[in-house]
Structure 1
Amino acid sequence: MKVLVTGGAGFIGSHVCDAFVRAGHEVIALDNLSSGKKENLDPRVRLEVIDIRAPEAAQLIRAERPQVMLHLAAQMDVRRSVEDPRFDAEANILGFLNLLEASRQAGVQKVVFSSTGGAIYGEQDVFPAPESHPTRPVSPYGVSKASGELYLGYYKAQYGLNYVALRYANVYGPRQNPHGEAGVVSIFCQRLLGGRECTIYGEGKQTRDFVYVEDVARANLLAVEKDSSGAINIGTGVETDINRLYSLLARSAGVDKPALHAPGKPGEQMRSCVDNALARRVLGWQPSVELPEGLRRTVSFFREHTGRQAS
């Protein structure tokens, strides 16, 4: 099968490329390399350096006619989306529409969309949040991801374009960049290994659902292989507070020093966690890498790539 992975040279995208190459598929990565890196890619992956907003991106889809598009390219910095919501919408809404129109014209059979399980739900009513939880995004980034899901619903109803929207929890692991909420793992890794102090904002009791990147890549593969559609949460269903996260990372890095604490950031979501029961049922997916082991692997990666900021 020929698959197109947008954002394929990035953190999650490159792991998705790896999963599909291992499964024997032909993989094309589309990436403008604004944060992705060529060295993240397996040599068997063909890289096309194009911005998703460009006409050339649509032309590539129409020329290659992939059976599946896995859409991971995005403006994914929540803070930047707040500062510049127009730029966020240009990349995450207009850029995606550029690809969707071309996919419809090229006869793409399925789109796997990287959505968000944290930003899309906002302040949760229940923990962990199921897919039926109201979507109440409190950032332009969350709004753009919710919009992407709505457009996918339209394209399925109007044109029969099947899709799965994977609502990720906080993804971490090797090649991670320091942007976005889950970037706290890479930031702490870089600082701990560099002998610098780490700062936790607030009391450190805010929680997140941390899911390992290779588990996320496997979910993308299963979303293509299984006859599934609609929104599906991809997370562990376990809340971990930032104090515990720091403790686990410091232990893996061999550092015996407490973190500094600074005033909390206004408007920061205090708790976030997603229910993965639907993923277990329809995809046969469940996380296989527990947090201490995933963090150990991540620290090992950063130790081996000292001085390199992975993306």
Structure 2
Amino acid sequence: MEEIYLVLIFLFVLFLLLGTGVWVGLALFGVAYLGLEMFTSRPAGDAMLTRIWTGSSSWTLTALPLFIWMGEILFRSRLSQDMFRGLSPWMQRLPGGLVHVNIVGCTIFAAVSGSSAATLTTVGKMSIPELRKRGYPEYMTIGTLTGAATLGLMIPPSLTLIVYGVAVEQSISKLFMAGILPGIVLAGMFMAYVAGWSFLRPGEVPKIANRMSFSEKLRESRFLIPIILLILVVIGSMYGGWATATEAASIGVIGAFILAAVQGSLTKQTFIESLLGATRTSAMIALILMGATALTLAMGFTGLPRALAEFIESLQLSQFSL
């Protein structure tokens, strides 16, 4: 039972630090330091510094700030307006109407930003006012947006998959490949939910104001061409074996700059804001990653993972219980 008490102590300290307002990364450091000092004979400082430097000096990890920077650049461009204009003619005829723009828009932007926060902000700053103006229910407008924005965690280039790949020393490109199909299936399930809502509550779905011909829809679709080309270049370069994840991220940053310049939204101010935004987000993620590395080290020295595995094995649970 010692391992159970040890887990409870670690969880208590972690939630205590988080509850008092300590940053997540520093809270993880605090739990790791406590574990090494109180339950092992290993000097906490030397062990943590060595492990953190080893885990943070990975070349693959440089893809992280680059993909974040790409998302920051696109966030400050007119991408959301162009996406709404290009998608709305095709989405308004589906059951549920323009609410599908939130889902499809988040799916597309997740494929270039890799960040749920950037996806939520970029798509939402245009879709929310437009859907409110057309009379869509608030709970569906906000709900579909926040739900679909989580696709940024799964659809490549996912920042979460990059961090996970570096932590477990797995191929980033293979992890990206594994995230495509589940992401598309999840987006399809969101759209099926919206369709079901429209059939169950047809009175809440606004009527279509104007109908477009097929040629007009194609003409409006031209606004989707830049973002689709950027997706094909970034993701295709990795899957085609022409570029690593880091090189594809560099290509994505250059493509985002070109897209912003063509749209006329690339100014000195937006460049500085995108750079500072990417730096802040990257530093936050790096601190959390270093704290997690230190905590993993502490868990290893205390023998907690092995003890928990042996305890679960001693329960003799069936494969369904596991």
TM-score (norm 2): 0.25
Which protein is richer in strand relative to its size? Answer: 1
Which protein is richer in helix relative to its size? Answer: 2
Structure with bigger gyration radius: 2
TM-score (norm 1): 0.25
